């Protein structure tokens, strides 16, 4: 079982850098679908990802079509969109024989409408109030990814960075 965060044509380097840092910290693959709204060596993106970029399993795809060709029978693709009726918490992400892909759209326009309609049963939403248009892309990726990881028992995530309270300095 492998988890993937897929960013469709991301525009903002800071969002992508933050998602990359999350992927490094959770052993999650990061798939980027081009074109990107920045260069991969953009200093803002590097700053957001800090020195964790070397730990990111990064896959670049030249288009949505080329990305879709990489999926197999073992892969479950979910499109995260505010236009879905089904919540991301309504799905079980625990089949050990599956790889889970969570695709997020461009910050300004989301995922292509025709693509979302073609894969309607795979659309999931994050519940939110009507006071905003959408959550931040990086935050949305964390919300959905950590639900999958929670259900999976946080695989390959050791408690090695857990520091007992008695180790805190005054």
- pLDDT tens for 56-72 read 999 999 999 999 999 99
The CATH fold assigned to 3-167 is Alpha/beta knot (3.40.1280)
Mean pLDDT computed over 63-91: 96
Task: Give residue limits of the domains in the chain.
Answer: 3-167
Name beta bridge partners: 103.
6, 79
Lowest mean pLDDT among 31-45, 78-92, 121-135, 154-168: 154-168
Half-sphere exposure of 107 (CA within 13 A, CB side): 13
Q: In whole angstroms, what is the distance from residue 162 CA to residue 101 CA?
A: 28
Confidence of residue 34 (pLDDT cuts 50, 70, 90): very high
CA–CA gap between residue 75 and residue 109 (Å, rounded): 25
> Residue 152, SS3?
coil
Of the pLDDT bands very low, low, confident and very high (cuts 50, 70, 90), residue 38 is confident
Question: Residue 166, SS3?
Answer: helix
26, 157 Cβ separation under 8 angstroms: yes
Mean pLDDT of 3-12: 97
| Confidence at residue 162, expressed as pLDDT on a 0 to 100 scale | 60
In b/e form, how buried is each residue of 52-74, taking b as 16+ CB within 10 angstroms? bbeebeeeebeebeebeeeeeee
Reported as a single tens digit per residue, the pLDDT across 114-136 is: 999 999 999 999 999 999 888 99
**Beta-carbon contacts of residue 57 (< 8 Å; ≥ 6 apart):** 23, 27, 28, 29, 30
Angstrom distances, CA of residue 39 to CA of 12, 21, 36, 79, 95: 10, 17, 7, 25, 36
Q: Is the peptide bond before 160 cis (omega within 30 degrees of 0)?
A: no
């Amino acid at each position: 079982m492998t988890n993937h965060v897929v960013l469709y044509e991301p525009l903002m380097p800071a969002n992508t850098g933050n998602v990359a840092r999350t992927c490094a910290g959770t052993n999650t693959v990061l798939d980027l679908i081009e074109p990107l709204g920045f260069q991969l060596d953009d200093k803002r993106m590097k700053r957001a990802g800090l020195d964790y970029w070397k730990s990111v399993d990064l896959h670049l795809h030249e288009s949505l079509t080329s990305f879709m060709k990489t999926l197999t029978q073992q892969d479950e693709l979910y499109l995260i969109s505010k236009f879905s009726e089904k919540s991301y918490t309504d799905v079980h992400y625990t089949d050990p024989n599956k790889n889970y892909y969570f695709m997020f759209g461009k910050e300004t326009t989301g995922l292509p409408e025709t693509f979302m309609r073609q894969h309607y049963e795979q659309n999931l939403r994050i519940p939110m109030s009507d006071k905003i248009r959408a959550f931040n892309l990086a935050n949305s990726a964390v919300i959905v990814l950590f639900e999958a990881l929670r259900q999976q028992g946080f695989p390959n995530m050791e408690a090695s960075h857990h520091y007992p309270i008695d180790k805190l300095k005054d």
